[in-house]
């Protein structure tokens, strides 16, 4: 790496590109019935929890969800405490702390980690009555996890660095294999970041096993080291340490890029994506409070509010079988066709092969 450390730009936190899957197209009579049921449910939750000493402990990916949890506290009387951690870190810690989980609720993070956690017996089973509003692909049939939306992968580019180097900005994933980008690309370790794992898995699904791994080997040749934190690519690209960061991308990414002389890019050869999970930790001290939160979250009006937090007021509640494009030039057919059925089961194998491929390359 050339010594081009520049002033670190304020990144305001990464906002996940969220797709909500709720029954938004209900008839007026169905909405009225739902509203009455929701009111009764809220009253029931409040009566059962307000007088208790419960505290809902939440592991989440971002502090931006605080207003959403504040609303939950207002309705139920249950205070919330937060711990920020990437999905890979959560999974590792859960395995080390079996029987004594660090929190009650896991909110956000790549679905691969949730599926793996289920397979390892680390999650609590809960089937909310309202979960039927979600398409089957976005909820565990056994009730161990559900999805609150989608995160998509893209690129963040430092235009000034590229100008100094005299090279063009990438527009496709395939561009990342070009020799002129050697030592100018950064991504987080996919064993740590669920989004990075989703990008690796998505492009393997798109290209096929043989061509997919050949592709990643070529990209690896242009990456000097892998970030130990999920935020490393954004922060280091914004600081001018790298020309290109592989990142989760959404509306706020474009806003931040515009304000700071960067470019947020949806590669034109397909967008990898991952559902964001929600689950209750097995052995949670306040499992009842976590169940109450899931019931709260699945109300249509609360899913809509969650959508606004995730999309910076641009995402909307959508039909269960559609994907909202956020009016940023991303269309539903831009999303790579991925095999969610192997998202969790293939995780260990993919990460083992990844570790073998990048052996000797230090993570920093």
pLDDT digits (tens, 9 = 90+) for 288-339: 999 999 999 988 888 877 776 665 433 333 333 344 433 445 566 788 888 8
Cα Rg, the chain, nearest whole Å: 21
Cα(146)–Cα(278) distance, integer angstroms: 5
**3 state SS of 264:** strand
Tell me whether strands 273-281 and 105-110 are parallel, antiparallel or unpaired: antiparallel
Ranking 72-76, 120-124, 267-271, 324-328 by mean pLDDT, the lowest is 324-328
175 pLDDT tier (thresholds 50, 70, 90):
very high
Packed helices 287-297 and 300-311: angle between N→C axes, nearest 10 degrees: 90
Cα(47)–Cα(161) distance, integer angstroms: 58
Q: The domain 24-148+275-312: what is its CATH number?
A: 3.40.190.10
Q: What percentage of the chain reaches a pLDDT higher than 70? A: 77
- The pLDDT tens digits for 232-280 are 898 899 999 999 999 988 766 777 788 888 999 999 999 998 888 899 9
pTM beyond 0.75 = no
Q: What is the pLDDT of residue 310?
A: 62
Cα(364)–Cα(215) distance, integer angstroms: 23
């Amino acid at each position: 790496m050339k010594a081009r450390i520049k002033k670190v730009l304020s990144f305001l936190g990464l906002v996940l590109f969220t797709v909500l899957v709720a029954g938004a197209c209900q008839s007026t009579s169905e909405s009225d019935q739902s509203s009455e049921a929701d009111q009764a449910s809220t009253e029931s939750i409040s009566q059962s929890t307000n007088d208790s000493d419960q505290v809902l402990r939440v592991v989440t990916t971002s502090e931006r969800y605080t207003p959403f949890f504040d609303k939950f506290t207002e309705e139920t009387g249950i205070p919330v405490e937060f711990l920020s951690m990437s999905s890979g870190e959560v999974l590792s810690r859960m395995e080390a702390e079996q029987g004594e989980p660090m929190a009650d609720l896991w909110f956000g993070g790549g679905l691969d980690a949730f599926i793996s956690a289920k397979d390892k017996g680390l999650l609590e089973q809960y089937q909310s009555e309202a979960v039927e509003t979600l398409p089957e692909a976005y909820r565990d049939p056994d009730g161990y996890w559900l999805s609150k939306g989608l995160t998509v992968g893209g690129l963040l580019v430092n235009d000034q660095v590229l100008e100094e180097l005299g090279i063009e900005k990438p527009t496709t994933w395939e561009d990342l294999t070009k020799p002129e980008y050697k030592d100018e690309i950064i991504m987080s370790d996919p064993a740590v970041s669920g989004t990075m794992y989703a990008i690796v898995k998505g492009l393997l699904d798109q290209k096929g096993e043989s061509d997919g791994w050949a592709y990643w080997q070529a990209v690896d040749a242009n990456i000097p080291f892998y970030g130990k934190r999920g935020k490393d690519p954004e922060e280091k690209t914004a600081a001018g340490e790298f020309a290109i960061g592989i990142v989760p991308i959404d509306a706020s990414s474009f806003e931040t890029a515009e304000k700071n002389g960067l470019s947020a890019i949806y590669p034109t050869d397909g967008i990898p994506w991952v559902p964001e999970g929600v689950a209750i930790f097995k052995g949670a001290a306040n499992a009842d409070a976590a169940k109450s939160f899931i019931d709260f979250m699945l109300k249509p009006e609360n899913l809509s509010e969650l959508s606004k937090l995730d999309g910076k007021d641009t995402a909307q509640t959508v039909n269960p079988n559609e994907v909202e494009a956020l009016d940023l030039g991303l269309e539903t057919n831009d999303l790579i066709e991925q095999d969610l059925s192997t998202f969790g089961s293939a995780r260990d194998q993919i990460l083992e092969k990844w570790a073998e491929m990048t052996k000797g390359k230090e993570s920093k």
